[in-house]
Amino acid sequence: LVRLRSRLARSQNALGRGLLAVLSRDRLDEDAWEEIEESLITADVGVESTGQIVAKLRERTRVLGTRSVADVKMLLAEELTEALDPQLDRSLRASPQDGRPAVILVVGVNGAGKTTTCGKIARVLVADGHSVVLGAADTFRAAAADQLATWGSRVGADIVRGPEGGDPAAVAYDAVKQGIDTGVDTVLIDTAGRLQNKIGLMDELGKVKRVVEKHGPVDETLLILDATTGQNGLEQARVFMEVCDVTGVVLTKLDGTAKGGIVIAVQRKLGIPVKLVGLGEGPDDLAPFEPAAFVSALLG
């Protein structure tokens, strides 16, 4: 929590500061409620979610008859946490099942942080004693396989790659095959995210999935979303959700935005558990997403 707070604090206390300023007034009048709303919308919580959160907060404040800043802050923290569906299962399905490795597909638009996140996840898994194979199925971006290979040697994971411009599905197939043959725990497959054309994406990811499923089911499909793209990211997310069964979201670059409220918008609008957050470019800059700790860091 301390690390999360310091990471977020660098850029992200906009929400905390804005709210704190409002809450430090002696009276919560109409203007104050409007400013609370504005702070949440500015932080990318989304207009609809903000409306719901503030309505509940106002009602609870009224019922309790409280005007104390500490109470309102606590109630707001509760409402924000609740908005993040704290009861959802956010564990990563990375453990082998029935003697075969868990297969994790990593999808998202170019630049969202897929390759980096694959590397960071592999590091966490290896540190936990898992063996990992990385599949470099992003065969379109020239440097992607090299970048993944660098992560692989850094964290101690094998990598399966194909010729540049080769068939992503073939690489994904080979990666899972190697994972099974060598008896590893987890196969992580980095895919290409060319979103120019939905049909093309659907064809490509669909094929990767079908081919991987020849070995058995995909255990987890992680959608990587760049937090700095704000509400636009939500639109991209929907396209991926139409194409594959996304089971978890990783929100990257939270260290680079003052709008941490996007997590709330993502959770509420997509209904898929945010499982991990990216807090920097380094190997340790990945954290499990814990709603209450996150809200506490957000409110400062």
The residue number with the shortest CB distance to ligand GDP is 278
Residue closer to ligand GDP, measured from CB, 108 or 168? 108
Of the pair 43, 277, the CB lying nearest ligand GDP is at: 277
Of 33 and 140, CB closest to ligand GDP: 140
Report in angstroms how near the CB of residue 145 gets to ligand GDP at its nearest. Answer: 11
70 in a known ligand binding site: no
The answer to whether 253 is annotated as binding is yes
* Nearest distance in Å: CB 114, ligand GDP: 3
- To ligand GDP, the closest distance from the beta carbon of 75 in angstroms equals 31
Q: What does each C-alpha distance from 140 to 66, 116, 165, 245 come to in angstroms?
A: 58, 16, 5, 23
Q: For the CB of residue 233, give the shortest distance to ligand GDP in the complex, in Å.
A: 12
Contact 278, 113 (CB under 8 A): yes
Smallest gap from residue 88 Cβ to ligand GDP (A): 21
Distance, C-alpha 215 to centroid of its chain: 27
- What φ, ψ does residue 288 adopt, rounded to 5°? -65, 145
C-beta of 46 vs 108, nearer to ligand GDP: 108
The number of residues making up the chain comes to 300
255 among the known binding-site residues? Answer: yes
Both tokens of 251, joined, read: 């929100």
| Contacting residues toward ligand GDP, per CB under 6 A | 108, 110-116, 252-253, 255-256, 278-281, 285
CA torsion sign for 249, 113, 241, 54 is: positive
Cβ-based nearer residue to ligand GDP, 73 or 194: 194
Q: Find out whether 89 is annotated in a ligand binding site.
A: no
Pick between residue 19 and residue 160 the one whose CB is nearest to ligand GDP: 160
Q: How far apart are CA 226 and CA 13, in angstroms?
A: 19
Q: How many other C-beta atoms lie within 10 A of the C-beta of residue 197?
A: 10
Contact between residue 84 and residue 294 where contact means Cβ atoms under 8 Å apart: yes
- Flag whether 31 is marked binding: no
Token couple for 114: 């897929």
Distances (CA, A) of 151 to 1, 18, 122, 240, 253: 26, 39, 8, 25, 18
| Nearest distance from C-beta of residue 113 to ligand GDP, angstroms | 3
The reply to whether 66 sits in an annotated binding site is no
94 is annotated as contributing to ligand binding: no
Other CB atoms within a 10 A radius of the CB of residue 10 amount to 12
Residue list, annotated binding site:
108-115, 190-194, 252-255
Residue list, annotated binding site for GTP:
108-115, 190-194, 252-255
